[in-house]
Amino acid sequence: MVGPLLKGLRVTFGHLFKPAITVKYPYEKRPVAERYRGRHVLKLDEDGREKCCACGLCEAVCPAGAITLYGAEDPEFKRSDVGKIAEVYEIDYSRCIFCGYCVDACPRGAIIMTTDYELTVPGPGRGHLYKDKNWLFEKRGGE
Amino acid sequence: MPKVVIDGIEIEVPPGTTILNAAQRVGVEIPVFCYHPYLKPAGICRMCLVEVEGMPRLLPACITEVQDGWEIYTNSDRVKDAREWLLEFVLVNHPLECPICDEAGECELQNFVFKFGEPRKRLYDEPFKYPTRYLGPLIVHQMNRCVLCRRCVRFSDEAMGGTDWGVYERGYRTIVGPYERDVFAQKYTFNMEALCPVGAITSNIYRYKTRIWKLDFTNSVCAHCEVGCWLDLGERDGQLLKVLHRRGYPSPWICDKGGYGFEYVNHSERITVPLRREGNRLRGVTTDEALEFVAGRLKGLVESGGKVAALVSPHLTCEDYLLMGSFMKEVVGSDYLDYRLYGGNTYPERPAVDSLEGVEKAEAYLVVGEDLSVHHPVLALSVAKGCKEGRASLYLIVTGDSFLFKFAAEHANPLPGKEEKVLEALASVLGGKDYASLLEGTEVSEDTLKAMAQGLQEKKPLIIGGSRLTPEGRVLLKGVGERLGITPLFLDWGSNSKGAFQMGFWSPGGESVEDILNKCVSGEIKGLFVSSMDLFRDYPNGTLVKEALSNLDFLVVHDMFFTETVAYSDCYLPATSFAEDGGTVVNMFWEAKKRNRAFKPKDESMPLWQVALGLSRKWGRPLGDFGTVEDVTPLVRERLSQVVEAPSTLGGVKAAHLKGDIPALFEYPFYRAGMRTDFCNAFVQLVPEPYVTLNPEYGDELGFKNGDIVIMEVDGNQFRMKLFFRDEVPRGGAIVSRGFSDFPITRALKGLWYRGIELRAAKE
Amino acid sequence: MIVAIIVVAVKLLILFAVLMLFVAYGTLAERKVSGHIQDRLGPYHCGPHGLLQPLADGLKLFFKEDIVAAESDKILYYLAPMIAIVPAILAIGVIPFGESITLFGRKIDLVVTDINVALLYLLAVSSFSVYAIVFGGWSSNSKYPLLGGLRSAAQFISYELILGLSIMGVIMVVGSFSLVDIVHYQKSMWMVVYQPLAFIIYMIAATAELNRLPFDLPEAESELVGGYHTEYSSMKFAMFFLGEYANMTVTSAVAVCLFLGGWYSPVSFLSWIPGPIWFVVKLVAVFFFLLWLRWTYPRFRYDQLMVFSWKYLLPLALVNILATGGVMILFGGI
C-alpha cells in the first residue's frame, strides 16, 4: 500500500523539474500557418484608394450574417477608381465564423484575411466586437 | 381563330395576337428587352427572335402576329445562336460593372446573359465610353449601360405626350436622354427608371446605398394623393430605401411623389421622442409622461368649461380617424374636429366611375378647378391616355394647368379666381342663356366656350371637379352634369379624405377648419390637437393660424418634424410615417385599400390611433382593447359600409379676396404637393424656394425678365422671390408657389388660394 | 515591565509579519508547485516569474463585490471568516523558533511565550477552526456549504482525536507539554527517529485537519462547488483563504518543533547557521511536503476517510502510545 503512494510522490516530484511546455503567450508566440484565416483587412490600391466597391457579395454570401454594408457614391473618384465606396462596412466579430467566403466572393480582391488572430476586446458587452471600416483598413499584425 | 404550335404545344389564339403573347399564354419564355405590356410594341431589340417553320429568317416575336398553322420554335439551335450573338453584341460596349450597378439583381440583361448567353467575349477592344449624366436629384443616366430598347423614350412619347427625352446620333454612338435639359424631373420620371431593363437610368436617391436583394419589400398604398397607387416599400434596417411599383395597379405608371417622395421617412431631422414645454424650452419626456400630461391638461380644460378641437391631416388611415374621432366625440365630448386642413369647405361625394379603367374609357373629359397633374398625377395620365390616342377629347377650365393642356381640345385658362365664373358661363351656354357678361375679366374667349359646349354635347364626357372648387362651384358643376346626364367625379385634397369623411371625422355642426380656428381666436376653443400637418404650410391663412395658435391654452402637435406648428405647441408627440404602420385608406373611387407595415415605428413614434387609445386610457375611459392596427380594421370596415350624409356647406367663404394689381393663384409646385414633401431632400433640391410665374407676354408688358427677383406685396406683407415665365399662366394673372414650411407664404392668403398681389422689381 | 511588553509586542509583530508573508507566498508556492508538477509554469505575469502575484490577488480580492446571501444567518455568516483566521494567529504565540539571545544586556527568548501547556493550548486553539467551517456552512443557508460544514464536523472530530493521540508519544518521551522543552530534548537527535509512526500519523492527521487534499472533503470543488465557502466572496473569502494557509504554516511549524528538531541544525558542522534560519528551512520543507501531497494524491471518498481514521489510524496511534509506554517501562526511558 505504501509503495504506490511513494511511487506517486516520486512521479510528481520528478515532474517538478521537467521543462514546462507552456508558451508564454503575450511574450512569445507560436508560428501561424500561412493560410490561417484571421481578421479581415480591406485593401487599398496603389493610389491609396479603396478597392471595395460595395457590391454586397460578401454580405450576401456571409453564412453568419456578420457583414453590414451600405454603399455611397464618390462622384469625384477620389476614394475609389469606380466611383462607388462602402459608406458603412462593419464586421460583427461576435458572429463571424472566419469561413473566408467573403474573401472568395470578392470580385476585386478588396477583402483579405490575415494571420492576425488577436481579436479580444476590452470590457463587457459585445459592442467592441463590432468593427467598422476604419478598423478594417488598419494595418496591424500579420498583414 | 388561328391555331399555332409553340414548342410542341398547340394553342388557339384570337387573330392579331403576337407570337410573344401566344407564347406567354402557354407559358413559354421568350426573352425581351424592348417589349413592355403597357407600351406599344416596337420590335427594336431583336432579343425575342424565334424560328417559324418554313420562314427563311427568324421573326421578332413581339411584333409578329401569328398566322394559322404556324409552327414556332423558341428553343431551336438557330434561336439559341441568335440570342447568344445578340447578347454578345450588346455586351461589346456594355461595361462589366455589375458590382457597382444599382440594377444588379433585377437587371434583365444580367438575367438573360446568365440564362441564354455565353460567358465569353471575343472583342478585346476598348469599349466606347460615355460620361455619366446626373440629371438632377432624381435620376442618373449612364449611357454605357443602355441596350437601346427605347422603353423610356416610348414612355415619354406615349404616356407623357412628349418631352425632350429622345434618341440622338446613330449606330454605336447613339445617345438616349434629354436634349437640352440638365435637370430631368418631369412628374413621371420614376417610370422611366422603372422601365429601364438595365441600369442605364437609375435613381439618384437610392444610388449606391444598398443592393436590391437586401431590401424587404412590403405592399403598401401611397400616401400622397387620393389615387392610392400600390407601392412596394423596400426596407432595410428600419430605413425606407427604395420604392417599387410592381403591381401595375391601378395604373401601370406612378408619379414621382409616389416613387421618390419617401425620403422624409428616414430624414435625419425627424424627432422621435415626445417633448413637453417647460417655459421656453421643449424637453424630452417618456411617452407615458407625455400622454398623462396631455390627457390631464385636456381633462382640466374640459372640466373648466373650455372646448377642445382636433385638426388632423387628410393623409392618415381610417383607423386613425376612427379612434381619434371616438376619443374626441365620446371621451372628450368635443364637436369640433376636422381633416380638411388644406382649406376648402367641401365634403367628399360618391363618384360616377369606379376605377381608372372607367376614366380611361370615357370619350370626353371636362376638368374644372384643379391642375390634375399636381394633385392627382396618375389620374392625369389616365385622362391624357385617351386624348393622346385620339379616342377622347379633353376640355379644361383650369387656371395654369401644367400638363393636360398639351392634350386639351379646348383650354379655358381663366384668371385666378375666375374658374367658377367660366363654369357658370358654360352652364349658361349649355342652358342656352346669355353668358357674355359672365366672361368679362376672365381672359376666356367666347369661341373657346362655345366650342367646349359643342364638344361636350357631342360626346358623353366624364366631368372631373377639382379640389379647388368651392361648394357653390360644385353645385354649378353638378348642374352642368345634370344637363349632360352625368354625375361628376369630385376630387379632394389629401390621400384619405374619403376615409376621414366616412369615419365621421368632421364637426357635426358642419363647422369648417376656418370656423374652428376662429373659435380658437375668440377663446371658445381652449385646447387643440393637431396631427401630421403643418398648419402654417398648408392651411391657406397663415395669419389666422398664428392668431389661433397663440391664443390657445393648450396645443398638442402629433408630427414627425419640428414644424412651425410644433413651435407653438405645449406638447409634441412623435408620429409614424405611412411605412411604419398599416391601416385602411379609401381612394378617390371609394375603394378601401390596406396599407401594410413595412417596419416597426422608430423609437417612440406612434400612429394617431395609438395616441388616441393611450389618451383615452390616461383619461380613464379606454376606447377598447386594441393591440395592433388589424384589431381596429373590422370596425373600420363596418363604418365604411354605412351611408354618411354630409352637412350642407353652401354659403361659406366666397372667392372675394381679390384686391391689388394682379390676381394670383397660390398653387403647389408638383414636387411640393403631397405629404411632407418639404422633408424630401431631392424635392427640396428641385424646388428649393417659392417663386412667382407670369405669362411671358404679360411679364414683358410689366417690364420683368425671366429669372428676375421680385417683391410680392400682399396686405403690406412683402415676399421676396424669383420670377419665372411660363406659357401656361393666363395673361394678366400670376401663379405663386406654395407648400414651403420654412417660408411663410400662407400669410398672404385669406382662406382661399386666390389673392390679389402687387409685384415690383426688387432693388439690389 | 514596559520594556518586556515592548519586547513581546515586537516579537508578535515580527511573527505576524512573517506569518502573513508565509501565507501570501504560500498561495504563490501552491500555484507554482502545482504548475510545475503539471508541466506548466504557474503565475508568470505579475512581476518577475509571477513574484508579485499574491499582491495582485490581494488587491483583486479587496476590490471584489462583497456578496451577502439574502437568506443567510447574518451573525454567523460574518463571524465564520473571522474565526477562520484567528486560531492560526493565536497559535503562533507558543511556537519557539530559536535559542534565547542576548540583546542590549537582556535575555530574549525567541518565543512569544513559553507556557508549560503549550501543546494543549495549540490543540485547543486549532480545534477552533472547525467552528469557522461549520458556521460558514450552516449560515450560508445553501445546500453545498451545508454539506461541506457537515463533512467537516465529522472529519474534525475523527482526526482531532488522532492528532492528539499521535502527539502523546512525543509528550511521553519528553515528559513536558512545553514546546521549548520538546525542542531542547531534540538537540542531539530528532524526535522523528524515536517516534516515526507518530510523525506519519501526525502528518496525516494534520493534512486532514487542514482540509487539504487528499482530505479536502469539506470544500471538494468537484462535488460541492466550493464547500463551506461557496457563498463567500471578496474579503470574507480572502479570510478563509488566509486562515487555511496560516494554519498550514502553523501546523508545519508545530511539526518542525515536535519531530524535526526545531531550530537545531541536523548536522553539527552546520550549527554555525542561526537557529531561526534552520527553523524556517525546515518549515518550508514541511510546507512543500504538504503541497507536494496535494498535487499527487486524489481525494478520499467520504466513507474511506472515516474508515481510514477509525479503523487504521486510531489503532495505530494507540499502538504507538502502548509501544512507547512499553519501551519506556522496559528500558527506563529513552
pLDDT, one tens digit per residue, over C132-168 is 888 888 888 888 888 888 888 888 888 888 888 888 8
Burial class (CB in 10 A: 0-12, 13-18, 19+), B685: middle
Q: Which three cell numbers stand for residue B177?
A: 436622354
- The C-alpha angle with vertex B473 and arms to B471 and B475, in degrees rounded to 5, equals 70
Q: Which chains touch A (3 or more CB pairs under 8 A)?
A: B, C
Cross-chain residue pair A56–B209, CB shorter than 8 Å: no
Contacts of residue C37 in chain A, CB cutoff 8 Å? Answer: 12, 15-16
Contacts 24+ apart (CB under 8 A), B408-412: B409/B451, B409/B452, B409/B455, B410/B448, B410/B451, B410/B452, B410/B455, B411/B448, B412/B442, B412/B444, B412/B448, B412/B449, B412/B452
CATH number at residue A116: 3.30.70.3270
**How high is the pLDDT of residue A139?**
65
Which chain C residue is nearest to residue A9, measuring alpha carbons?
C296
ipTM value, please give it: 0.82
Q: Taking residues B357-382, report their average pLDDT.
A: 92
Nearest to B372 by CA among B167, B263, B225: B225
Question: Which of C36, C292, C297 is opposite residue A20, by nearest beta carbon?
Answer: C36
Q: Which chains touch C (3 or more CB pairs under 8 A)?
A: A
Q: Looking at the domain B3-75, which fold is it?
A: Ubiquitin-like (UB roll) (3.10.20)
What is the CATH number assigned to the segment(s) B662-761? 2.40.40.20
| Distance in Å, alpha carbon of A82 to nearest chain B alpha carbon | 8
CA-CA distance, C97 to C278, in Å (whole number)?
Answer: 9
Question: Which of A8, A16, A26 is opposite residue C36, by nearest beta carbon?
Answer: A16
Contacts of residue A21 in chain C, CB cutoff 8 Å? Answer: 39-40
* Predicted confidence (pLDDT) at residue C241 exceeds the cutoff of 90: no
Question: Which of A55, A68, A70 is opposite residue B100, by nearest beta carbon?
Answer: A55
- Residue A12 domain flag: no
- Residue A19 domain flag: no
**How high is the pLDDT of residue B26?**
92
* Predicted confidence (pLDDT) at residue B164 exceeds the cutoff of 90: no
In the structure, do chain C and chain B come into contact, i.e. share 3 or more CB pairs under 8 Å? no
Are the C-beta atoms of B754 and B663 separated by less than 8 Å?
yes
The answer to whether B3-75 and B275-346+497-640 have equal CATH topology is no
Contacts of residue B132 in chain A, CB cutoff 8 Å? Answer: 83
Which chain C residue is nearest to residue A26, measuring alpha carbons?
C45
Which is more confidently placed, C227 or B579? B579
Which chain A residue is nearest to residue B133, measuring alpha carbons?
A75
| Distance in Å, alpha carbon of A3 to nearest chain C alpha carbon | 13
- The C-alpha angle with vertex C79 and arms to C78 and C85, in degrees rounded to 5, equals 110
Domain count of the fold of chain A: 1
Which tens digits make up the pLDDT trace of C56-68?
A: 888 888 888 888 8
- Residue A43 domain flag: yes
Cross-chain residue pair A12–C44, CB shorter than 8 Å: no
Are the C-beta atoms of B531 and B312 separated by less than 8 Å?
yes
Best of B203, B210, B235 to disrupt the A interface (most A CBs within 10 Å) is B210
CA-CA distance, C117 to C178, in Å (whole number)?
Answer: 6
- DSSP letters, B420-467, are HHHHHHHHHHHHT---GGGGTTTT--HHHHHHHHHHHHHS-EEEEE-T
Nearest to B315 by CA among B249, B232, B222, B220: B222
Residues of A at the B interface (Cβ-Cβ below 8 Å)? 53-57, 59-60, 68-73, 75, 82-84, 107-108
**How high is the pLDDT of residue B394?**
94
Nearest to B346 by CA among B590, B226, B513: B513
Which tens digits make up the pLDDT trace of A33-79?
A: 988 998 899 998 888 888 999 999 999 999 999 999 999 998 888 88
**How high is the pLDDT of residue C42?**
85
Q: Between A and C, how many CB-CB pairs are < 8 A?
A: 37
Phi then psi for residue C151, to 5 deg, are -60, -45
Q: Is C38 on the interface with A (CB under 8 A)?
A: yes
Q: Taking residues C298-309, report their average pLDDT.
A: 86
Are the C-beta atoms of C245 and C22 separated by less than 8 Å?
yes
Which is more confidently placed, C214 or B722? B722
Q: Taking residues B280-307, report their average pLDDT.
A: 93
Q: List the domain boundaries for chain B.
A: 3-75, 128-266, 275-346+497-640, 356-490, 662-761
Q: Is C41 on the interface with A (CB under 8 A)?
A: yes
**How high is the pLDDT of residue B657?**
52
Question: Which of C33, C45, C292 is opposite residue A9, by nearest beta carbon?
Answer: C292
CA-CA distance, B446 to B667, in Å (whole number)?
Answer: 26
Which tens digits make up the pLDDT trace of B226-245?
A: 999 999 999 998 999 999 99
* Predicted confidence (pLDDT) at residue B635 exceeds the cutoff of 60: yes
Question: To the nearest whole number, what is the mean pLDDT of chain C?
Answer: 84
Cross-chain residue pair C39–A18, CB shorter than 8 Å: yes
Contacts 24+ apart (CB under 8 A), B63-68: B63/B18, B64/B18, B64/B19, B65/B15, B65/B16, B65/B17, B65/B18, B65/B19, B66/B2, B66/B4, B66/B13, B66/B17, B66/B18, B66/B19, B66/B22, B67/B2, B67/B4, B68/B2, B68/B3, B68/B4
Cross-chain residue pair A82–B100, CB shorter than 8 Å: yes
Cross-chain residue pair C297–A5, CB shorter than 8 Å: yes
- Percent of chain C exceeding pLDDT 90 equals 0
Best of C30, C32, C41, C311 to disrupt the A interface (most A CBs within 10 Å) is C41
* Reported CATH class of domain B275-346+497-640: alpha beta
| Distance in Å, alpha carbon of C37 to nearest chain A alpha carbon | 5
Binned at pLDDT 50, 70 and 90, residue B121 comes out as: confident
Burial class (CB in 10 A: 0-12, 13-18, 19+), B229: buried
* Predicted confidence (pLDDT) at residue C220 exceeds the cutoff of 80: no
Best of B208, B214, B235 to disrupt the A interface (most A CBs within 10 Å) is B208
Residue range of the domain that includes A105: 33-137
Contacts of residue A54 in chain B, CB cutoff 8 Å? Answer: 100, 208
Question: Which of B100, B134, B213 is opposite residue A53, by nearest beta carbon?
Answer: B100
- Residue A5 domain flag: no
Q: Looking at the domain B356-490, which fold is it?
A: Dimethylsulfoxide Reductase; domain 2 (3.40.228)
**How high is the pLDDT of residue C333?**
58
Cross-chain residue pair A16–C33, CB shorter than 8 Å: yes
Are the C-beta atoms of B357 and B379 separated by less than 8 Å?
no
Cross-chain residue pair C41–A22, CB shorter than 8 Å: yes
Q: Which three cell numbers stand for residue C7?
A: 519586547
Contacts of residue C293 in chain A, CB cutoff 8 Å? Answer: 9
Cross-chain residue pair A56–B214, CB shorter than 8 Å: yes
Binned at pLDDT 50, 70 and 90, residue B653 comes out as: low
Q: Taking residues B182-195, report their average pLDDT.
A: 92
Question: Which of A12, A22, A24 is opposite residue C295, by nearest beta carbon?
Answer: A12
CA-CA distance, B584 to B607, in Å (whole number)?
Answer: 13
* Predicted confidence (pLDDT) at residue A140 exceeds the cutoff of 80: no
For the ranges B601-615, C75-89, C203-217, C256-270, the maximum mean pLDDT occurs at B601-615
Question: To the nearest whole number, what is the mean pLDDT of chain B?
Answer: 90
Best of C203, C296, C312 to disrupt the A interface (most A CBs within 10 Å) is C296
Q: What is the pTM of this model?
A: 0.78
Cross-chain residue pair B99–A83, CB shorter than 8 Å: no
Contacts of residue B99 in chain A, CB cutoff 8 Å? Answer: 53, 55, 57, 107-108
- Residue A20 domain flag: no
Best of A79, A84, A90, A108 to disrupt the B interface (most B CBs within 10 Å) is A84
Q: Which chains touch B (3 or more CB pairs under 8 A)?
A: A
Question: Which of C40, C45, C293 is opposite residue A20, by nearest beta carbon?
Answer: C40
CB atoms within 10 A of CB B557: 27
Binned at pLDDT 50, 70 and 90, residue C171 comes out as: confident
| Distance in Å, alpha carbon of A26 to nearest chain C alpha carbon | 9
**How high is the pLDDT of residue A142?**
41
Which chain C residue is nearest to residue A8, measuring alpha carbons?
C296
- Residue A23 domain flag: no
**How high is the pLDDT of residue B658?**
60
Q: List the domain boundaries for chain C.
A: 2-331
Contacts of residue B210 in chain A, CB cutoff 8 Å? Answer: 56, 69-71
Which tens digits make up the pLDDT trace of C285-295?
A: 999 998 888 88
Best of C30, C36, C213 to disrupt the A interface (most A CBs within 10 Å) is C36
Cross-chain residue pair A9–C295, CB shorter than 8 Å: no
Q: Which strand ranges, in their side-by-side order, compose the sheet holding A130-131?
A: A67-73, A84-92, A130-131
Which tens digits make up the pLDDT trace of B726-763?
A: 998 998 899 999 889 888 888 888 888 888 888 988 87
